[in-house]
Amino acid sequence: MLAYSWRMGWVAQKIAAAIEATRATARSAQLQAEREPDPCQAHCLRTPHERRSTNAAQNAVTKLEVQILQMDAEYQQAEGSLDEARAGEERLKVIDAQIEALTHQVANLAAQMYQQQVDVEDRTIKSPVPAVIDRTFVLPGEYVASGQRILMLHNPEEVWVEANIKETQVGQVKLGQTVNVTVDAYPGVKFTGKVTRIGSATTARFALLPTPNPSGNFTKITQRVPVKIDIVNPPKPLTPGMMVEVEIDVR
């Protein structure tokens, strides 16, 4: 816009200079015509060549006057364009200032949005595995503390059976043995699994209420050992807590 404004000012100056030159030429022609004698006397005294020269000078004056009017109109138009260009330049300055202010606002809003995203991430608890929520222990809006139990979940793709095998039979169980599993929820549907872990202690060692024997009397009870069995390609979905029966092929 600065270059355009300078260009318009230069054009206006050139037009003004041309108008002044044309006016000077017209004044010179006008003075030359006024110095001529009376038209009647000139008609009697002048030769035809002089009369033609006088008529040509008068026609030139008329043409110059018309040119002056046209150049005046062009000059006014150029002045109007120059004023418009200057006004546009001022508007551009205002727009530049507004853009700079908006740029600072955008940077400020971006910083605030980043801080909000950090706050949201700090308040978001993500599960380490894809899982299904089985139970929640808090309600929306409650305050929680570090280490507090919030919910219970499980991965439906990783399901296993924990069978309590008698201690008299666990000696025959080996890792990798094939297991046929029957689920009460799906009668007639066979599930297949493999033994992946044999417990190193009986279930009585993990009871909440152990059975001490202070009297010295001892009753022998067959203990049970937990055995973990992984289900291979279950035909039906299994959920924690279902009752099952297992048959381990010990051959």
Q: What is the pLDDT of residues 47-70, one digit of tens each?
A: 666 566 667 767 776 777 777 778
Whether residues 64 and 9 fall in one domain: yes
Q: 0.75 cut: is pTM over it? A: no
- 132 plus 44 within the same structural domain: no
State the total domains in the chain. 3
Tokens coding 177: 């043995």
Examine the domain organization and report whether 6 and 105 are in the same domain. Answer: yes
Q: Which residues of the chain, if any, have pLDDT below 70? A: 1-54, 57, 61, 210-216
Nearest of 131, 138, 119 to residue 156 by alpha carbon? 131
- Looking up residue 233, the CATH number of its domain turns out to be 2.40.30.170
Q: At which residue do the structure tokens 């002089």 appear?
A: 50
Beta strands in the chain (DSSP E): 132-136, 151-154, 160-166, 178-183, 190-198, 224-232, 244-248
One domain for residues 193 and 240 = yes
Asked whether residue 10 falls in the same domain as residue 31, the answer is: yes
Tokens of 33: 């015509």
* pLDDT of the residue at 48: 66
Q: Which residue carries 């000059």 as its tokens?
A: 75
Mark whether 132 and 169 lie in a shared domain: no
Range of the domain at 25: 2-120
Identify whether the C-beta of residue 166 lies closer than 8 Å to the C-beta of residue 186.
no
Question: For residue 55, what are its two tokens?
Answer: 């008529």
Q: What pLDDT, on a 0 to 100 scale, did the predictor assign at position 4?
A: 43
122, two tokens: 């700090």
Residues 131 and 163 both lie in one domain: no
pLDDT at 85: 78
Same domain, 20 and 93: yes
The predicted structure's pLDDT at residue 67 = 76
Domain identity same for 39 and 116: yes
Domain match, 111 and 86 both: yes
Is residue 107 located within the same domain as residue 132? no
